Amino acid sequence: MGKKAAEWLCCLILCFCIVMNVETAVRIQYPKISYVLGNGSGGRGIEDMADQFMSFQTPLFSYMKDRKEQEAMQTPDPAYDRIRAGMDGYAYGAEDYEEITERNQTETAYQQYAAADSSEESDTVTEPGEEIRTEPPGEPETQVREAAGQSITYSMEQLADFQFLVKNLYFVHPNTGVDSEMLNASAMLDYDAHMTTSSDQPQILIYHTHASEYFADSDANDPNTLITGVGERLAGLLRDRYGFNVIHDTTLFPYQQAYSQGLNRLTEILEENPSIEVVIDLHRDAAEGNHYVTEVNGKQTAQIMFFNGVSRSTDGPIDYLENPYVAENLAFSFQLKMASDALYPGLTRRNYLRSYRYNLHMRPKSVLIEVGAETNTLEEEMNAIELLAEILAEVLQG
């Protein structure tokens, strides 16, 4: 091969590497630009435009790309197989970066804040009516506590204090902006969360954006030991013990597009069952070694966390992730937290607020619930589900 030919080949390889990586980089660093280019009306993704250019300039590139896509369609992804077996963590693709790019950094934030000296006042909280930018969770890296027999109660004076509310009942992710108008305890408690649909129609949907999430003693060959098994137990309790009409969907979505594909499935189910009032996306957390457990009635029980996406960053509303039900979502999760603290103090961690949407915009009573983590046992999970069913019934039935 001549020197000029070798130089030309090197240039082609360099161009190939650049165009194959530029879209991912842009999607991570500039999700809004990515949305406009890749998902806006009539827009074409960066990678698509690069592919068109390279295919026109270099027929070999087009042939290799088409062959790679065909092989990918025919050959199972080993990582996806591991996830299906519940033996690996989940991952996210470019389609989902708008909502979950930084989700796997959540526990890092927890640990960084928890490492701060608890004797110092490290909360960054503004006066009521002003925006809050960051607020540490104040929770130890290992959550092991015994639930007290006495209910946790709050006075309306305490709940009306924005600083008290955020410090004691919420963890606000540093990239998320909330204020006292959003977290108005009186308004959230006044929200009527009671079920209005009769049980002769579907009332509650339970599904799993990450249906392959596993636990410390999960069996890779038994889906009943994954989060889907925990979801089935919750559905059974809500049906048999509390009389709700529940649909439990166990669809496993491609790990690269869990939220975008999950939204498609969610839309389909709700269109087929417009009577559904409550949508629960059931997860377990990613604890990275932490063990979220408490003791209730002598049983080791996984701790629960209610999670809200508020479609609002510290720069303001995220317009391309519109959610008309943010206020209702927040009220629903707040009432669940209040019921939990009254019935089983110590069972729930503080409610988590994140800037993205997490498909919570389809119904007013939508909530993402994290039950334990990968470090919890299946028994701890099932013990928590018994209590979660009761808490849901308390809020929905009164």
- Is the pLDDT assigned to residue 332 strictly greater than 50? yes
The answer as to whether 245 is a domain residue is yes
Question: In the predicted model, is pLDDT for residue 119 greater than 90?
Answer: no
Split at pLDDT 50, 70, 90, the class of 16 is: low
Q: Are residues 274 and 329 in the same domain?
A: yes
Residue 18: predicted pLDDT = 52
CA pair distance 180, 131, nearest whole angstrom: 7
Both 215 and 330 in one domain: the answer is yes
Are 185 and 323 in the same domain? yes
Is residue 192 included in any domain, yes or no? yes
Cα–Cα separations (whole angstroms), residue 50 to 15, 65, 230: 10, 12, 44
User: In this model, does residue 294 exceed pLDDT 70?
Assistant: yes
Residues 156 and 292 in one domain: yes
pLDDT for 398 equals 81
**What is the model's pLDDT at position 378?**
97
* Number of domain units in the chain: 2
Specify whether the CB–CB gap between 187 and 229 falls below 8 A. no
Q: Report H helices in 97-177.
A: 97-100, 106-114, 156-160, 162-169
Average pLDDT over residues 221-250: 97
Distance spanning both ends of the chain, measured CA to CA:
80
Q: What type of residue is 231?
A: G
245 with 157, same domain: the answer is yes
Residue 253 has pLDDT above 50, yes or no: yes
Has residue 21 been placed in a domain?
yes
Whole-number pLDDT of residue 136: 34
Same domain, 176 and 59: no
Do 246 and 392 lie in one domain? The reply is: yes
Mean pLDDT in residue range 162-179: 94
Whether the predicted pLDDT of 11 surpasses 80: no
Q: Is residue 86 part of a domain?
A: no
* 96 in any annotated domain: no
| Within a domain: 279 | yes
pLDDT at 321 over 70: yes
Rg (CA), the chain: 23
Q: Which of 96-110, 134-148, 289-303 ranks highest by mean pLDDT? A: 289-303
Query: Which pLDDT score, from 0 to 100, does residue 3 have?
Result: 64
pLDDT beyond 80 at 43: no
The parent domain of residue 71 ranges over 3-75
- Whether residue 61 is contained in a domain is answered as yes
Evaluate if residue 395 carries a pLDDT over 60: yes
Output the CA–CA distances (angstroms, integers) from residue 37 to 23, 30, 236, 298, 353, in the order listed: 10, 11, 44, 55, 28
How open is the CA angle 42-31-29, to the nearest 5 degrees? 135
Boundary-marking domain end, from 58, 75, 92: 75
**pLDDT tens-digit map of 65-105:** 444 333 333 333 333 343 334 333 333 333 354 444 444 44
Q: Are residues 65 and 214 in the same domain?
A: no
The answer for residues whose C-beta is within 8 angstroms of residue 348's C-beta and 6 or more apart is 303, 304, 305, 306, 336, 337, 340, 341
Last residue of a domain, one of 57, 75, 93: 75
Q: Are residues 140 and 265 in the same domain?
A: yes
Examine the domain organization and report whether 273 and 319 are in the same domain: yes
**CATH code (residue 198):** 3.40.630.40
In this structure, the answer to whether residues 379 and 312 fall within a common structural domain is yes
Q: Which long-range contacts (CB under 8 A, 24 or more apart) does 52-60 make?
A: 53/19, 54/15, 54/16, 54/19, 58/12
Q: What is the pLDDT of residue 14?
A: 62
pLDDT above 70 covers a percentage of the chain that reads 63
Asked if 372 contacts 379 with a C-beta cutoff of 8 angstroms, the reply is no
CB atoms within 10 A of CB 261: 19
Q: Which of 23, 58, 75 is the last residue of a domain?
A: 75
259-268 pLDDT per residue, tens: 999 999 999 9
| pTM for the predicted model, two decimal places | 0.69
For residues 64 and 111, membership in a common domain is answered with no
**SS3 (DSSP) at 55:** helix
Task: Inform me whether the pLDDT recorded for 9 exceeds 80.
Answer: no
Beta strands in the chain (DSSP E): 131-132, 144-146, 170-172, 178-179, 204-207, 246-248, 278-285, 293-296, 299-302, 304-309, 312-313, 316-317, 351-354, 365-373
Q: Is residue 327 part of a domain?
A: yes
